Structure 1
Amino acid sequence: MLQFKESNRAKKQLEKVSVTGSGQYAPSLHLQLIELEDDLKRLKGFARRVDKITHKRDVLLPKWLPIVEQHLANIKEGKPNDNPIFAYCTVWLFDINDLGRGLEFAFTAIELNQPMANSIRRKWPGFIADTVFDWAQTQAEKGSSIEPYFGQVFSNVANHWKLPEQVTAKYYKFAGLALLRSKNGDISPSTVGDVQRLQQADGYLAKAAELHKHAQVKTVRNKIAMRLRAIAELNAQ
């Protein structure tokens, strides 16, 4: 309840700034950034990660997302503007595991050349790739779906973003292994009966090895080859 009241209070203060200010966007943004700095200091005061995530979800995002939505509306109206608040909200969406909206905002940030949050040293593509990869690993190990988010990012990693070869390689490797996973999350080429699926997985793994010599895909590729030979022999009977 206290967090809800704090969020409403802050939102009303910011709305008041936009109505009673000079009518120009810049002074309002200046005051908003001062408020944001105060919020970031309070956020650092939480010792536990779970409490930080809860605060982002229940207080910070409800408070700042309306400001970000107005920022995006201004850009659509032909008023380009860099807004650090947009970057922080995007990062927070990933933190609270709202990958759908997080990716929507992050792709927009790249498209509009928006600055990354000061607390993040990586650029947008690297941040997105690392964050979604970590999430996909957790999902896959549980036997849960990694789509559509992994596929969206993999497409960009493979075709558009110029990331370090090691990062691109781990995406190709993971994409290949994902085609070989059983329902419980285990990697098991011997249970895959689709030849095209096996060949696609092997192609991804081969690309990973081409990009990074320490991709460690040889053993799995050998198992795929064994499975393909077994299927061929079975079909030949």
Structure 2
Amino acid sequence: MELDADLKRLKAFERLSDKIAHKRDVLLPKWLPIVDEYLKQKQDKPNEITDNSIFAYCAVWTFDVGDLTRGLELSFRAIELGQPMAGAIKRKWPGFIADTVFDWAEAQAENGSSIEPYFGTVFARVINDWKLPEPVTAKFYKFAGLALLRATNGDITPSHIGDVERLTKADQLLEKAASLHKHAQVKTVRNKIAMRLRALEDFASQGIIEAESQQTP
């Protein structure tokens, strides 16, 4: 009943920024200690599935306030425990986590900021553990490939990369994205990677020829 009352108060806020502030300053400090105690108790009964709405909402709210470390910790635990998703959210935990972290990573990358460790952590789950729709998995592969091509300002610049291994890895990730979803839209950047690889190969060949010519009596 108390949680329901808190949810009604939260819904009454008109501005998203006010909702986030209320979750950060009021709701999480109030409810997280209860969640922590609940998780300690679950250590003694790891196979018992229970529907704990407080746990589910706190897991979602930690993402909302930008605490991805705690958000991933709680949401991964929710998956392990078979905890249902909070409230009216229709997605299951893997889909919710994937979408939330992907959106965060996109914003970070556009600003030239690091996307790790959160993107890499979720990407590993997406490709190894979770059966998400092909377009979702494809966009993770694409984003991982593009991340290898980004300059410090966030621009995607294959032509400025001199590392053949890095370019090849990026192309492999983009190729996988295309194989999963025909509308992945990676053809243009893959062509740029191929051009850059050819250019690097030409540079290397010219260097060998020049070195050999210098050694000729």
Q: TM-score, normalised by structure 2?
A: 0.93
Secondary structure (helix, strand or coil) at the match of 2:189 reads helix
Q: Structure 1: how far apart are the matches of 2:121 and 2:88?
A: 25
Shift of 1:140: 0.1
Equivalent residue, structure 2, for 1:54: 21
Alignment-mate amino acid for residue 72 of structure 1: L
Greater CA drift, 75-84 or 52-61: 75-84
Shift of 1:216: 0.3
- Among 73, 86, 99, the residue aligned to 1:104: 73
Equivalent residue, structure 1, for 2:197: 228
Equivalent residue, structure 1, for 2:107: 138
Shift of 1:226: 0.3
What is the number of equivalent residue pairs in this alignment?
Answer: 204
Q: How does 1:22-41 map to 2 (within 5 A)?
A: 34-41=1-8
Alignment-mate amino acid for residue 36 of structure 1: L
Identity %: 70
Equivalent residue, structure 1, for 2:34: 67
- Among 27, 36, 43, the residue aligned to 2:10: 43
> Cα deviation per residue 1:144-197 (whole Å; 9 max; x = unaligned)?
000000000000111110000000000000000000000000000011111110
Can you give the 5+ residue segments of structure 1 that lack an aligned partner in the other structure? 1-33
Name segments (4+ residues, structure 1) moved above 2 Å.
79-82
Can you give the 5+ residue segments of structure 2 that lack an aligned partner in the other structure? 207-217
Q: TM-score, normalised by structure 1?
A: 0.85
Shift of 1:112: 1.0
- Among 55, 58, 82, the residue aligned to 1:86: 55
Q: Structure 2: how far apart are the matches of 1:44 and 1:232?
A: 59
- Among 155, 176, 179, the residue aligned to 1:207: 176
Equivalent residue, structure 1, for 2:163: 194
Equivalent residue, structure 2, for 1:16: none
Equivalent residue, structure 2, for 1:26: none
Alignment-mate amino acid for residue 233 of structure 1: D
The answer to whether the aligner puts 1:159 opposite 2:128 as a matched pair is yes
Secondary structure (helix, strand or coil) at the match of 1:226 reads helix
> Cα deviation per residue 1:191-217 (whole Å; 9 max; x = unaligned)?
111111000000000000000000000
> Cα deviation per residue 1:38-62 (whole Å; 9 max; x = unaligned)?
0000000000000000000000000
